[in-house]
Amino acid sequence: MAENCQSVQFLDETHVPDSERRALVAVQPQGFFIRHPPKPHDLEENLTDEACLFQTIHMGAAIVDPVRWKLVIDGLVERPFVIDFQQLRQMPCKKIVSFHECYGSPLVAPTKNVWRIGNVEWTGVVFRDLLEIARPHPEAHFVWSDGLDSGAFGGVAADRYRKDLPIDKALSPEVLVAYEMNGKPLGKERGGPVRLVVPGWFGTNSTKWLCRLSLQDRRAQGPFTTIFYNELDPEDTTGLRKRPVWKVQPNAMIVRPRPGETFLCPCDVDVWGRAWGAEEIVRVEVTVDGGDTWEEANLLPREMFEWQLFTLRVISPRGRRVIQARATDRLGAQQALRQSRNHVPTVETQVE
Ligand SMILES: Nc1nc2c(c(=O)[nH]1)N[C@H]1C(S)=C(S)[C@@H](COP(=O)(O)O)O[C@H]1N2
Ligand SMILES: [Mo]
C-alpha cells in the first residue's frame, strides 16, 4: 500500500471544505429521469449492454469536468486525503460482475415488482484500499458518499445526493470506486467519471458522480437516507420499525417463454431466466399451473455478485399455462407470491 500513499495528497488545515464540488460544470438536464430497461424477455444476454441497462436519476444528471474532478476521503480518519482521476487510475484495480437493481420509486408503496435490473462488469479501485490509506478511527461506523448532483426530488430540495453505508459493508472487497462499466469509461448518465458501486445492495446506494467519502459515527441525515429509502422491516412484529433500503431481497425474472407465446401440443416448454439477491440464490422453483405444483429448476451457482441462470424443461398439457418462478436464498429468504416489490414473475402462455 506504501506506493499508493505517495500518490495522494493528505489534507491539512488549508483544505477548503466542499472544494471537490468545483468539478461540477452543470446539472443538465435537471429533474427526475428514468430510462426503463427492456422487458425480461428482451434481456437475454448474461452481460447487459449499456444501451439495455436502466438509468435512474433523481435530481438531474451532473456534468463533471474530469480534469478538476477529485475525491476527498475525510471525516473520522487519521489521514484525510484527496485523490485525482490519474492517481486513482494508477492504483491497483479490480473487476466485479454484479447484478444492478433499482429499488423502484421511493414515493410509492413497494407492492409491485418493476424488474429494473441488469448485470454488468464494473472496474475500479477497491474502496477498502482507499480506506487503508486514510486509517479510519474505531468510532467510524458509517461511510457517507456524496454525489456532485443537486436539485430537488419529490418536492424536497437537496444540495447533494448523499447516501451512507455501514462500515462492514464499506470494507467488503466487492465495494468499488468505479470508473468503467463493461470495459468502457462511465458516461455522463452512468455517473462518470467515477461512481461508487455496492454489489448486492440496491442501486440507490451506488452514488454516481462521486466526489467525497466521509467516515462518520452515525447515519447520514439528508433526504435520501431519511425521507426516502427506508422501508418497513418485515422481521419486525409490531409492523412499525423501518430499515434502510440496503440489501437486495431475492428476486427472479423469466426470460423464456415470452408472454403470450403459443406452443403446439405435444411439446416440451423450456423455461429459463435469472435470479439474484444480496445472498446467493440456492433454489429456484417453477410452476406451470399457476402455483398448484412447483418443480425445482437447474440453477448455476454464483461466482461473484452476478445474476444466476435457471433452466427447466417441462412437459406441458394443453391449455392456458401460468408460469411462475420463485427464488430462495442461502439464508432461506424466499420471494413472495404477490403484493411486494420482489414478488414472483408470471408469464402466461398457451399450449394448443
Ligand atoms: N448521485 C446520484 N447517484 C445515484 C442516483 C442519483 O440520482 N444521484 N440514483 C441512484 C439510484 S436510485 C440508482 S437505482 C442507481 C442507478 O444507476 P444507473 O442509472 O447507472 O443504472 O444510481 C444511484 N446513484
Ligand atoms: Mo434506484
Query: In the chain, where are the structural domains located?
Result: 2-244, 251-351
Is the CB of 324 inside a 6 Å radius of any atom of ligand 1? no
Is the CB of 273 inside a 6 Å radius of any atom of ligand 1? no
Identify the H or E element spanning 28.
strand 24-30
pLDDT at position 138 over 50: yes
Helix, strand and coil content of the chain, in percent to the nearest 5, comes to 10, 45, 45
Please say whether the beta carbons of 167 and 142 come within 8 A: yes
Closest atom, ligand 1, to C-alpha of 55: 19
Mean pLDDT, rounded, for 186-199: 98
Ligand 1 mean position to 200 CA, how many Å? 15
Residue among 28, 102, 209 to mutate when testing ligand 1 (max atoms within 8 A of CB): 102
Is the CB of 161 inside a 6 Å radius of any atom of ligand 1? yes
Is the CB of 120 inside a 6 Å radius of any atom of ligand 1? no
pLDDT band at 235 (very low <50, low <70, confident <90, very high): confident
* DSSP codes of every residue in 113-178: ----EEEEEEEEEEHHHHHHHH-B-TT--EEEEEES--EEETTEEESS-EEEEEHHHHTSTT-EEE
Which residue is associated with the grid cell 495528497?
A: 9
Q: What is the pTM of this model?
A: 0.97
Is the CB of 48 inside a 6 Å radius of any atom of ligand 1? no
Q: Whose CA is nearest to atom 24 of ligand 1?
A: 207
Main-chain phi, psi angles of 89, to 5 degrees: -65, -20
To which CATH superfamily is domain 2-244 assigned? Oxidoreductase, molybdopterin-binding domain (3.90.420.10)
Ligand nearest to C-alpha 207: 1
Give tens-digit pLDDT for 100-133: 999 999 999 999 999 999 999 999 999 999 999 9
How crowded is residue 317: how many other Cβ atoms within 10 Å of its Cβ? 10
pLDDT band at 6 (very low <50, low <70, confident <90, very high): low
Q: Which CATH architecture has domain 251-351?
A: Sandwich (2.60)
Ligand 1 mean position to 4 CA, how many Å? 29
pLDDT at position 266 over 80: no
